[in-house]
């Protein structure tokens, strides 16, 4: 297995842990408070943290699996971005927010766009 695939798998597990834990693990490490979520940049219409996180995860996933399993990785990234946020409906101390959901999806869509632009320019 290539290093980029291993990196994607590790990041994927970290994302799942961070999303399903009933509190903010990152908030605890930074602020010593499970109730405080660190903010990278100010939110715009969607959660900027979620856009950045899913952009990173999706870019690495697409780089790792685009050639060998294009349809599977695209479906997986879209589904995981939705499922992880919807789980906040049932996880204690977490809340479902449309701005987070749309941030997740926009992060995935931006990564798909970037990969397609890269592939388009590489062919020229």
Residue 93 near residue 35, CB atoms below 8 Å? yes
Domain boundaries along the sequence of the chain: 3-123
Nearest to 110 by CA among 77, 86, 71, 88: 77
Nearest-angstrom CA–CA distance, 21 and 111: 26
pLDDT per residue over 65-119, tens digit each? Answer: 988 899 999 999 999 999 999 999 999 888 899 999 999 999 999 999 999 999 8
Higher pLDDT, 48 or 113: 113
Q: For residue 36, what pLDDT is reported?
A: 65
Helices within 21-47 (DSSP H only)? 25-31
């Amino acid at each position: 297995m290539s290093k980029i695939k291993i990196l994607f798998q590790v990041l994927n597990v970290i994302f799942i842990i961070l999303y399903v834990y009933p509190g903010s693990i990152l908030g605890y490490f930074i602020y010593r408070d499970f109730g405080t979520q660190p903010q990278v940049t100010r939110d715009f219409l969607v959660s900027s943290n979620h856009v950045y996180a899913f952009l990173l995860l999706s870019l690495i996933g697409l780089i790792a699996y685009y050639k060998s399993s294009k349809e599977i990785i695209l479906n997986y990234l879209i589904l995981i971005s939705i499922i992880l946020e919807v789980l906040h409906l049932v996880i204690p101390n977490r809340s479902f927010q449309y701005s987070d959901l749309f941030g997740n999806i926009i992060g995935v869509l931006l990564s798909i766009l970037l990969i397609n632009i890269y592939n388009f320019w590489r062919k020229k």
